[in-house]
Chains A and B, each alone.
Chain A
Amino acid sequence: MACKILTLVEHESGAIRDTTFELLGLAHRLAGEAGWSASDIKALAIGQDLAGPASSVAARGAAEVICAEGEAVRDYTCDGHARVLESVIGAESPEIVLIGHTPNGWDCAPVVAAGLGVPIATECSNVAFENGRPLFTRKAFNGKFIQVVDLGDARPKVATVQRGASPAFGGGTPGTVRVVPAGVAAGELRAAFAGVKKGETGAVDLTQASVIVSGGRGVGAAEKFGVVRELAAALGGQIGASRPVTDMGWLPHEHQVGSSGVTVNPKLYIACGISGAIQHIVGMKGSGYIVAINKDPDAPIFGVADVGVVGDLFEIVPALTRAVKEAKGQT
């Protein structure tokens, strides 16, 4: 009972999420780089009644899926998940543990690492062997820089991995499923699941918009949003925002585009004064055509935009509004 790479199955009441297969894709590439066998890749699923869904994971990348089952871990709690992870990692002694950088993954993974007394590389965009050592690449300073981390002789080396960091495993595997008791009783947990609810929603539905003009921190203040509104109006579009804007109350939460807001895919997305934190980018990168206007030439938003302008949004956005009106014959 040992493996080289252990990945955590991300699921919601048994529905397996894509992250699971991306982690397995990454695991297979790493095993190839390290010269490990595909049979050294295992996956851990924590919950209840998982044997059915787990078979799809065994067929698509995991040599063995360990299903740690129990009523006490039916729903996610950090305490429950972390206890199971620590004990399974102890039994399997993998070299590398890969967990999705999702709200549940980032919640329990550092707890597990601290319990095992090992470091963790969080929010990795890549893991790859270099000169025989696995190196963990992640963003630091909100995406201004990438940081490459070497976890030394830590065993295991634990990482949370961003969604989309690796293609999903594409092949088929003759994996097996092994159901084991989670070994956790509800009474010993200090956290109790009490439900999932929708966040606040309003009248604005950005998911249906064909044009979105978004403002970010660079707009500077609630009362300065006029230029963004006017451009949106000229284009017949909706107004979006990055997280700082809704946090500071410049616009209601329903305007927020990104991982904690909505995911949008308009034909046209114009980002004004948005630097492009990864949390924002995941929510808008599927847009048909992306225009970015920012004063910082190194802003990550220019990495996903189709066309960019470096400069003062208070000059460029009103000029664009005028040009749009002119093109539409409204002036």
Chain B
Amino acid sequence: MNALVLIKQVPNTDSPFRINSAGTWVEEGNLTYGLNDYDRYALEELLRLKDAGTITELVALTVGPERASSALRTCLATGADRAVHIKDDALAAADPLSVARAIVAAVKDGGFSLILAGLQADDDNYMQIGPFVARLLGRPCATAVMRLELRDGATVRVERELENNRLQIVDLRLPAVITVQTGINEPRYASLKGIMAAKKKEIRTLTLSDLKLDAGAIAAASARFRTVRLAPPPKAKGAEMLSGPADQVAKELVRRIREKTGVI
């Protein structure tokens, strides 16, 4: 069977984040980017099925600007067979539903039995693209999956993470869309050989016109998902902050811990 992994290139979490001048997103100029952490686990899960011979062809797909192709290269270097890059200026400020529609337009005839994605992207934390794609393709979906097992050619059994250290077991009929939680496996790193091999693998670029999608419709949909403002979180009650040499701060902490908790 063939499988698809949906990936996103996101700013590294230790990037210097600053709000842009419009106050609607972060300033992108000074960020460094990498493959979304959750997606590394989704990719690894499919690479394991490929290693086991269950998956014949593994395709990685992203929607993003030019820079996002390096995240696809990472997927190719770790073992994906080929990649698809949906790239169009009209998608730069697109809403999540339009992004999902573009993905669906690209994959609807792909014959993918399994589509995996990370539970969420580390930048917007939306948790939407996987379920959106599932519904638009008319396929069953499960999110936050911690275990995945192909039962036969027709069913995949997954364990979804619930609260309080419990898991729900669900059988999904194939083809299915699954988003994975971090910790489901240990993602591999690309080998030198893999990095060399990736240079010869295909990254197919698709634009909106290739997908027969209309930029006007995307702009209209995006008006229904507008970030009015991005701001630092309000300081709740806020901690009382201590500063000074480490030994002095430590003594002060001990004094407070003793007074407030009695555990020392």
Contact = CB atoms under 8 A, between A and B. Distances in A.
Contacts of A88: none
Contacts of B140: 78-79, 189-191
Contacts of B122: 141-142
Interface in B176-235: 176, 181-183, 186, 221, 223-235
B48 to A, nearest CB: 17
Given A140-B125, A148-B227, A119 B254 contact: no
Given A308-B241, A327-B264, A111 B230 contact: no
A142 B125 CA distance: 7
Contacts of B163: 102-103, 259-260
Contacts of B52: none
State the 3 A-B residue pairs at the shortest beta-carbon distance, nearest first. A308-B239, A152-B224, A305-B239
A71 interface: no
Interface of A: 76-79, 82, 102-104, 106-115, 117-120, 122-123, 135, 138-154, 189-199, 201, 210-211, 235-237, 243-244, 246-247, 249, 253, 259-263, 267-268, 288-292, 298, 300, 302-311, 315-316, 319-320, 322-324, 326-328
Interface string B221-264: 10111111111111111111111001101110110111011111
Contacts of B261: 267-268, 288-289
Contact of A316 (B134, B226, B246): B246
A68 to B, nearest CB: 19
A231 B186 CA distance: 29
Interface of B: 13, 17, 19, 26, 95-97, 100, 122-128, 131-132, 134-136, 139-144, 146, 157, 159-173, 176, 181-183, 186, 221, 223-243, 246-247, 249-251, 253-254, 256-258, 260-264
A323 B223 contact: no
A100 B159 CA distance: 21
Which label, helix, strand, loop or mixed, suits the secondary structure of the A interface? mixed
A194 B253 contact: no
19 contacts: A77-B170, A103-B163, A119-B221, A147-B230, A153-B224, A154-B224, A191-B170, A191-B172, A194-B170, A196-B168, A211-B263, A243-B183, A260-B181, A261-B165, A290-B239, A306-B256, A309-B241, A311-B249, A316-B250
Contact of B229 (A106, A117, A148, A327): A148
Nearest to B225: A119
Nearest to B160: A103
B182 A247 contact: yes
A114 B97 contact: yes
A328 B264 contact: yes
B171 A191 contact: yes
B149 to A, nearest CB: 11
Contacts of A103: 143-144, 160-163, 168
Contacts of B131: 78, 107-111, 114
Contacts of A76: 168
Nearest to B41: A247
B182 A141 contact: no
Nearest to B137: A114
Nearest to B176: A190
Given A119-B225, A149-B225, A196 B173 contact: no
B86 to A, nearest CB: 18
Given A115-B135, A153-B224, A110 B233 contact: no
B100 A114 contact: yes
